[in-house]
Chain A
């Protein structure tokens, strides 16, 4: 009888540890996925707006957006999640194209085009999707470890 109690409590305590750490790692992976989603969303926004110019003379066109990520400790979790610190704007110069017939052209006939570089955006989107995949794999692995733990209880 004593042995049964020992076994039961060993198994339940193991389940408790697994619950704590594995849910923690699942949440951390999910936070990473969310951060990469935000990056991908911004890439989509930047690419979609790569030709959005101002319609009044001398008006500023669309400015490329960036996201700044931060690692923030979570006491409840016992680890650090990834959070979006802030959405920032790329402060680089706009491209100037000579087009006097454009309604957005300035006095000298130049139109400002967004500072979006398609190549940079492509690389950024590839990087974000790979990072998303890595996080997803991690989540899958945590899930399989969880089911392995539950298998012991069977």
Chain B
């Protein structure tokens, strides 16, 4: 029974994503484009949050290099094209590995002269805190805009 529900939900989702691409009205299309851009920017902020927390937690690990996400321009259509794919949740290594249901932005490692640090670690807490604040501000902005957009959509539906 549960499996059937999951299949129905997945098929509904694929129909919905197809429908998103085929919105005839140009105004609607703009809105959905805006919403997918916001969604992409939120996903970016969420992934960046994880990478930054990794940096902060590894500040005392010898040989660790600071990591960050590559900058992405959310105006580009190819960034928005990469839609989420819902797949079975993997909770064990023995489970069948499917494509992850999240966007993966490229992570870059900052290069530095290893001779400048005894621990060969270039994590700077102040820099990381700046990045974290910037990231959370951008996430807050995206969520607020998304909420407003969704509110407008709901209003139109009613």
Contacts and interface: CB of A to CB of B under 8 A. Distances in A.
A134 B56 CA distance: 7
Contact of B102 (A21, A80, A135): A21
Contacts of A16: 84, 86, 101-102
A9 B57 contact: no
Contacts of B59: 32, 131, 134
A130 B12 CA distance: 49
A102 to B, nearest CB: 37
Contact of A21 (B49, B93, B140, B147): B49
Number of chain A interface residues as a range? 35 or more
Contact of B139 (A13, A26, A130, A145): A145
A70 B61 contact: yes
Interface residues of B, number: 54
A13 B84 contact: yes
Residue with the highest number of chain A CB atoms closer than 10 Å, among B32, B39, B59, B132: B59
A35 B62 CA distance: 13
A28 B48 CA distance: 13
Nearest to B100: A78
10 contacts: A14-B39, A14-B42, A16-B101, A18-B46, A21-B47, A25-B46, A25-B54, A32-B59, A70-B61, A138-B53
Interface of B: 12-13, 15-17, 19-20, 32, 35, 39, 42-43, 45-47, 49-54, 56-62, 64, 84, 86, 90-91, 93, 100-104, 125, 128-129, 132, 136, 139-140, 143, 146-147, 150, 153-154, 156-157
